[in-house]
Structure 1
Amino acid sequence: MTNLAGKTIIVTGSSRGVGADTAQILAEAGANVVINYRSKAPRAEKIVAAIEEKGGKAIAVGADITKEEDAARLVDIAVETFGGLDYLVLNASGGMEKGMVEDYAMILNRDSQLRLARLAAEKMPSGSRIVFVTSHQAHFIREVETMPEYQPVALSKRAGEDALIEEIPALSEKGISLVIISADMIEGTVTASLLNRIHPGALEARREEAGKLYTVNEFAQEVAKMVTADVESGHTELVGGGKGFIKE
């Protein structure tokens, strides 16, 4: 990876899973990393401690990005702590949780992503980048059906992707690029495990069709690479290809 010394990066939803591994990889490359979490402070602080033990710099910021004041505070703390904001990795997603408000998936995966991107862009210098993390099941939802339980998440994440793509002209005026990175089901994630419990054998079937499913750390490595990858704004990186989703 490119040396990120002196650069500041917010990674949303980074107290566990892909987000946590991505944050640690970026910190190892020299970045000042903001670990964002919604409610699990001890878990986020553990990631910060792991980064600091290796000589890296990180802080944990509790912020529910579905709330405008939290999202604004997340950006402000990053700037105040490290003197600026250079990259935003939009990793947080959801929509299968119980007991949330109506349309929570769309609020989180579309509305909140766009709002946070806009808030961050106000503080980011020219040359900065926003990375949106999604799944093949969401990216290709208009062409390929997914499991019914995941459909609200897939539709809302695709809506979030579309909203961010529409924002490219405004971002370009500020010299900020947008990159989308998508992967198949990820081994070891909460979502993949839940769907496999609901539909026993679903994970094995996807693994067989795709040829390989990435682990959390393997996908995190790819996400981290896209922060500084030499690609045009609007580029979509299909990690592992799109076998089973792209018509041959």
Structure 2
Amino acid sequence: MSIAGRIALVTGGSRGIGAETARLLAAEGATVFVNYREKRRRADRVVGEIAHAGGTAVAVRADLTDPAEVAAMIEQIRDRAGRLDLVVLNASGGLERDRAAGYALRLNRDAQVSLVEAALPLLPPSGRIVFVTSHEAHFHESRLGYDVYEPVAASKRAGEDALRERIPALAAREISLVVVSGDMIEGTITPTLLERANPGAIEARRAEAGALPTIAEFASEVVAAASAAVPSGYTVYVGGADYLAGVTGVSSAAGGADRQR
């Protein structure tokens, strides 16, 4: 599946992995809707960078935990493009201090599922959903992680499970789901917040795992997953070879990623 000419939505697209994913998709010829919650200026900057490079992008605001705002965003995409070929579920949270109890689960599970359901009428056969997660979440049940990250890890794993439960229904519409799971990513907000709660966490992980994936490296794997000829439910692992010990069906891939059916 070629990226060129496709219509894509990237949630949490105003910074970090989401922003770089949006840039890379646009560079390959996709029209990209860059979702943001609050930081309009930041989203506009990403859109401007894409336009300057010759691509096409539109900033679309929605708090993904608010069904009315999600519906309005989907309607805006319908009016502008008529369809959606690709949904990259990148937005996540739960470490914020100003959020109420249960917010991580509402965002990382409930909102992911609700957004997929809202987007389904715009997704044609051959449409794809890419769920972005972390090894801490993906391997949540089999490996202990950071206590401060526990609500995020548990809720993102719950989100992944809820989406996987929908694979048969998606397959009936010829829509596929691919999961991209990464080790701690250099330069993202999550390691920064973990470092505040656990000083030395980043350096300790580097010592344990070796070089950590960068935002550019991880985003390139997300974009590759958006068009790869793989079955629904396929998982792409980026970095963190120690997590993969004992995982069956894993083979080495370019760019430091590991892929598993």
Pairwise same-fold verdict (TM > 0.5): yes
- Displacement after TM superposition at 1:242 (Å): 3.7
Tell me whether 212-221 or 129-138 shows the greater mean CA deviation. Answer: 212-221
User: C-alpha deviations, 1:64-85, integer Å up to 9, x for none?
Assistant: 0101111122222122112211
| Structure 2 match to 1:158 | 157
Provide, for residues 184-236 of structure 1, a one-character-per-residue CA deviation record: whole Å limited to 9, x for no partner: 00011111011122212211221222222111111111111100011110001
Q: Distance in 2 between matches of 1:175 and 1:72?
A: 23
Q: What is aligned with 1:230?
A: 229
Contact 1:93 1:108 in 2 (8 A): yes
| Distance in structure 1 (CA, Å) of the matches to 2:214 and 2:223 | 14
Match of 1:126 in 2: 125
Q: Deviations over 1:134-176 (max 9, x none)?
A: 0000000101111110000000000000000001011001110
Partner of 1:188: 187
Take 1:101 and 1:200, find their aligned partners in 2: how far apart are those partners?
25
* CA distance in 1: counterparts of 2:182 and 2:241, whole angstroms: 8
1:118, distance to aligned residue in structure 2 (A): 1.3
Moved more, 191-200 or 123-132: 191-200
Aligned residues: percent identity? 50
Q: How far has the Cα of 1:3 moved from its partner?
A: 4.0
Alpha carbons of structure 1 residues 55 and 158: separation in structure 2 relative to 1, 3 Å: same
**Counterpart of 2:61?**
62
User: 1:202-217 to 2 correspondence within 5 Å?
Assistant: 202-217=201-216
**How far 1:246 moved relative to its partner?**
3.4
Name 2:253's counterpart in structure 1: none
CA contact (8 A) 1:144 1:245 kept: no
Alignment match, 1:143? 142
Matched length = 247
Partners of 2:81 and 2:53 in 1: CA distance: 18
Asked if structure 1 preserves the Cα contact closer than 8 Å seen for 2:74 and 2:119, the reply is yes
1:105 Cα deviation from its structure 2 partner: 0.2
User: 1:241 & 1:152 partners in 2: Cα distance?
Assistant: 21
Alignment check: 8 A CA contact 1:209 1:244 kept: no
Q: Classify the secondary structure of the residue corresponding to 1:243.
A: helix
For 2:115, the equivalent position in structure 1 comes to 116
- Counterpart in 1 of 2:252? none
Letter in 1 for 2:171: S
- Report how far residue 124 of structure 1 moved: 0.5
SS at 1:25 equivalent: helix
Instruction: Quote the RMSD (CA, aligned, Å).
Output: 1.3
Query: What's the counterpart of residue 39 of structure 2?
Result: 40
**Corresponding residue for 1:91?**
90
Look up the match of 1:20: 19
Deviation of 1:237 after TM superposition, in Å, equals 0.8
Is this contact kept in 2: 1:210–1:244, CA < 8 A?
no
What's the offset of the Cα at 1:121? 1.6
Give the aligned residue type for 1:193: T
User: CA–CA distance in 2 between the matches of 1:104 and 1:145?
Assistant: 22
Which consecutive segments of 4 or more residues in structure 1 shift more than 6 A?
none
Counterpart secondary structure, 1:76: helix
Contact 1:34 1:59 in 2 (8 A): yes
Tell me how far apart the structure 2 counterparts of residues 54 and 116 of structure 1 sit (CA, whole Å). 29
CA–CA distance in 2 between the matches of 1:239 and 1:5?
24
Q: TM-score, normalised by structure 1?
A: 0.96
**Unpaired segments ≥5 residues, structure 2:** 248-261
- Tell me how far apart the structure 2 counterparts of residues 247 and 211 of structure 1 sit (CA, whole Å): 19
Question: What is the CA deviation profile of residues 37-72 of structure 1, one whole-angstrom value per residue up to 9, with x for unaligned ones?
Answer: 000000000000000011111100110010111112
The whole-number CA distance in structure 1 between the counterparts of 2:245 and 2:202 is 19
